[in-house]
Structure 1
Amino acid sequence: MLTRRVLFALAAAAALATPAAAQDRLNVIATTGMIADAARSVGGDLVSVTALMGPGVDPHSYRQTRSDIVATAQADLVLWNGLYLEAQLEEFLLELGETRPVVAVAEAIPDTQLIGSEEYEGRFDPHVWMNPNLWSRVVMATRDAMIETAPEQADVFTANAAAHLAELSELAVYSQSVLASIPADSRVLVTAHDAFNYFGAAYGFEVVGIQGISTESEAGLQRISELVDMLVARDIRAVFVESSVSDRNIRALIEGAAAQGHEVVIGGELYSDAMGAPGTYEGTYLGMIDHNVTTIARALGGQAPERGRIDELAMN
């Protein structure tokens, strides 16, 4: 583990280094894939975007590497979620922000639209990307950060952001329509950790996470036992694994329910704290949310097009 002194020595040295060749594009570093996707959508051909965390990486426990430190210190702009999502990076990013353009884009969302955290007093649930309408605020914050960094490109950033915001609006309408097809008494979403509260608030779901908001929290045997009893008592028959969280606790639920004669299946894999592989539809924000909505709807008795939102758009 890198000490605080080493971290900032590396950052200072990297900040002083001169790139081998001048770059025509704005060099943007984003912590998560979701933020990187927003940056690419807004910046288009005018930016070069790198995400520190790839598919399957848990941002709650991620610690910066030496290469991360060098990359962020040399970036023209660093974008991070904030709201204590990147808990292990927070001190470093706050320090770096004293000398470099570093913006916590999710913290642009008004407190009145955020959900409080029971785990961390005075903090909010950071998983704002689960609601496309809230994520629009992050896209706007990304646009504003880019304009502040490269004001001569303001018109392009503004036009690109407007186009992407329209896509997010379409996604929100699609999600509402598909999820509304699930019977009301089946709208219970059981997942590995508590990442879907904004989703639940937006679409009328009861959300149950085995672990808390952070995957650093541990689920004890009592918690597992209580949830098994809930599955049996309420006749819940589908639970969901997550791409960036171990499925160990979910499988413990299934086995516990089976021991009581109640069959529970895995309804599918959801993208919670990370998107899918680069170059795939699920490796974009639109594809990530579309996949989740479509998977949840099918597993819980709703109706969704065979290929999700792509098919829906093709029919219109």
Structure 2
Amino acid sequence: MLRRGSGYGIAGPTWREGKRQRPAARPRDVKAAARKLKKRLIKHGSASPHLLDIANALGRCDRRHRCLHPACPQCGRAVQRTFVRALYRFIEAHEHLGPWVMLSLILPPLDPEGEIDFVAERARYTAVLRRAGLRLGAFGLDLSFNEDDRRTLPEADRFAPHPCVHIYGIAPAAHVEAALPKLRRLVPATNMVCRPIRRKRFNGDPAAFAYSHKPRFTRRLTILRDDPRRASPVRTTRDRVLTVEQEIRAVRALARAGLTGRIVLLGVHFELVPIARPRRTLRT
């Protein structure tokens, strides 16, 4: 489907992203991001032929030949759009399973100093969700680089910078509520993550599906912010762009994961099935 151009589109998607509800990236924005990433990989890949190979692949990605590389901003956006379309078809075809909730889960990092491994993280999150009793859902693995910027605290009370792979997706509300007590025992709160489990009623906005497989990662700073309703500052986060080193680590992780390696499915799978029109489409 991606080789035939599905998911790339001409106009930008209809959903809006982030807390500020900004418009999603348009094709020309994604092309500019691909050119910028290619230059960065060439500049910092002199000692790594693998990075130069990725840069060459990104440079050849166009309408006539899609590179389908996991780190390609254009192909990552196409996977995201196709994923959103497939999930909407699934929800429409299985209304009896609703209502639905969006579930977020954050496990402690496997190896903060080592390589980011989406394959191992995918297996780990799948195992935890199944141990909790969740048998149906569609999720995506996200990545952030977390840093503790609470400068008023002693060094011992702040956590070390680390990459954080977390999962976000949709599941039936009844299934999530049944699994929640066990999930809370399996994933307790820590200093790094004070709320490792979050759930929110799905309101029909496609931005929720898009977020579960967003192609761009962020650097997340934990800060203290004054709140007039409280006697002491509250803990919150703010997003920043990745550093060069972080972006290269993310590119390496994506290359090892594969184009769809961040998709986590429980109880469902993707199939290509023929329909009446002279093309094939994706159904769940």
> Whose helix fraction is larger, Structure 1's or Structure 2's?
1
What TM-score comes out, normalization by structure 1 length? 0.24
RCO (CA 8 Å, sep 6+): is it higher in 1 or 2?
2
